[in-house]
Structure formats: structure tokens, C-alpha cells
Amino acid sequence: MLSLLHHPNLVNLIGYCADGDQRLLVYEFMPLGSLEDHLHDIPLDKEPLDWNTRMKIAAGAAKGLEYLHDKANPPVIYRDLKSSNILLDEGYHPKLSDFGLRKLGPFGDKTHVSTRVMGTYGYCAPEYAMTGQLTLKSDVYSFGVVFLELITGRKAIDNTRAPGEHNLVAWAQPLLKDSRKFSKMADPLLKGRYPMRGLYQALAVAAMCLQEQAATRPLIGDVVTALKYLASQTYDPIAVAAQNNRVGPSTPRSRDERRGMADGLDSPEDRGRLGSPSTHKNSPDFRKRDARESSTGTALARIETGGGSGRKLGLDELERHESQRDSPVRTGRAGETPRNRDLDRERAAAEAKVWGENWREKKRANAMGSFDGTYE
């Protein structure tokens, strides 16, 4: 049967050796070892896998599984999908290996194959572990565990971790229900070098694969479609850093620079000289437009008092808020939910009012001939 399975994401069977009662299968050589070698217990002098490579490996492994489920005739249930069974060729091209536990079927109108429970603890689907009923969706669950390993860098079972974190799926399930905690699930070795939107989408795919009820898990073909898209959205940390610098610096400007921007862009005379109002998200014009669209007297009062603290937003606080908003992590998180969009809109409204008050104060100071004294 193994000699009949041929796919770019399956390890090729070269032949076999037989000597007395000794039997040996010969597969093609995979120079980069297993996925497990590149995810766990990495030596200090070894570079961890970047985000793009992880998505590429996940998409390739899913394609190999899709071939076994949908293209092979009869279909093949892999039954032992885990990170140590995904081998890596040149360029981190993934291939599934070790088909010793594979099972044929189910055939016809049968929904499952009944068999003795085998596989690796931490990767087995719950219905298979409890009843011995094996389905194609059992492999989808195992794939979800491997994908979660790729995202988090954690082992499926790790008894060296704190209580409650030994089992990867048990640790992840509560976090997968709260999108605000998604960033805590990313592998620390990535050091933030991943697209926040891509992280959300990847965790959503993993969560679907790890559904407790087999019927609610997606088909592997649907998983392949999603992962092909994720793998095509390459993440370039250098380009992202350059874009953030164009949008605005991540470090606060000095007060004089900030006042100069307000005075230069927010006055009617200069606006007419410079042309149409700016649509840049950090510009006062953009903030004022947002203020007109979203603010009411009550909402502005709440924002100005800092959520009921009785303290108005001054320039120091404004600088700190803008520094946080311009950071890559903040930029990635912004706009992910209606709640965040509303908070950003209200913050922009409050900031626009601060700029307006500063400009009016400057005009009054100019009229009195005491501009410098006003800003002491």
C-alpha cells in the first residue's frame, strides 16, 4: 500500500531490506530532520522558525493529509500525526512520514473504523481515545494540535511546565475563547515578528480543528484552503518597520514639535495654504473629522476625565497614548473588534479637542502679546 502513495508532501518509500527475521523500510533522506527538532528544545546557536516558514510547513502538512483523505482510494487515516512525524526537506518543505499506524477506510456508508486505540498521547482525538472509533476527523484533530505547536512553540505534552499547562490543548482552550489573549499564545521565540491578523486567523483555524465534537470539525480540504491563504500572506518585519516609520514614529515627539504640528496644520490659514484637509490617521484634520462623526457631549466628558478619574488628558498623557497607538503591537490590535474601533474613535475625538484647545489658547495668547508665557 505504501508504494502506491505518491505526493510531494509524503515521504517516498525507496524500498525495503529483509535479513532473516529483520525487516527494514528505506525512505528518502530528509536533510533538515523533523519539525519537532526545530520547535522544541532549540540550541542557543540555532535560529527559531520564523512565522512565514511555520505557515508554509502547516500548509504543506495539511496538503499531505488531504491527499490521504480525499485523493487516495481507498482513503487512508494517518492516525499518528505529530510534529516528530513531519520531516523537512530542503527549504523546509514538509513531508509526512511513518505510516505504521495508518488505517484504511471508512468504506461505503460507514462513518468510522473501530480499532484498538493507538497513537501518541496529546495528539489523539477525544472520541477515538474514549471509544476506539476512528474517522477522518480524528486526523483533523491531530493536525490542530500540531498547528497549535507551530503557533505557540509549546509541546503537546510538557510536564516541565506549571500545573494546568502540561497539556497544550487544555491550556489553549480557555485562551481561544478570548481574542484579547491571542497575543499571549504566540511563541515567545518569534519576538513579536508576526502579523497580528495572521495570528488571529491561524488560531481560528486551530480552534476549529480542535472542536471536541468530530462533526463540527472542518474537512481537511477546507483547512488546506485556509492555510494556503495564510502561507501566501508573507510577513516582512523590515517592511512593517518601515511602514510604521512612515505612518509615524513610535517614540513621542517633543512638546515643541507637537505644538508646531498643531499650530501649522490646525489653523484655518495654514489649512488653506496646504490644500485639502489631511486624511492621515495621525493628522489633526483626521482626528477632528472623527470627532465630528462620533462625539457627543457625554462621551467627550467621559474621555476627557480619563474614565471618571476627574483628570483631563494633558499633553503628557496624549504623548503616551500616541506612543502606544503607533507601536506595531497596538497597530495590529487596533480595529480587530467593534469595541476597539469605538475606543480608538473616542480617543481620537478627545485628542482632537485637546489640539483645538491648544490652538485657541495660542490665538488668545497672541492677541495679548504673551504667547510664551501661556505655554510655560
Give the residue numbers annotated as catalytic, written as ranges. 80
In Å, how far are 64, 84, 340 from 347, measured between CA atoms?
48, 48, 10
Question: In whole angstroms, how far apart are CA 147 and each of 13, 36, 87, 255, 270?
Answer: 26, 12, 15, 47, 54
Spacing of C-alpha 150 from chain mean position: 11
Residue 76's H or E segment, with its range, is strand 76-77
Closest CA to 224 of 59, 49, 70: 59
Asked if 119 contacts 100 with a C-beta cutoff of 8 angstroms, the reply is no
Q: Kindly give the pairing relationship between strand 133-134 and strand 113-114.
A: antiparallel
Would you say 347 and 303 are in contact if contact means Cβ atoms under 8 Å apart? yes
3-state secondary structure of 368: helix
Burial degree of 137 (CB within 10 A; 0-12, 13-18, 19+):
buried
Other CB atoms within 10 Å distance of the CB of residue 12: 15
> Measured at the alpha carbon of residue 46, what is the angle toward residues 146 and 175, in degrees to the nearest 5?
35
Adjacent-strand bridge partners of 124: none
User: Where are any strands of DSSP class E within 125-207?
Assistant: 133-134
Give 24's strand partners: 17
Q: For cell 494517518, what's the residue? A: 78
Please say whether the beta carbons of 77 and 135 come within 8 A.
Answer: yes
Distance CA 231, CA 51 (A): 9
- Other beta carbons within 10 angstroms of residue 10's beta carbon come to 20
Helix (H) or strand (E) holding 87: strand 86-89
Give the number of other CB atoms < 10 A from CB of residue 176.
18
- What is the C-alpha separation between 127 and 129, in angstroms, rounded? 6
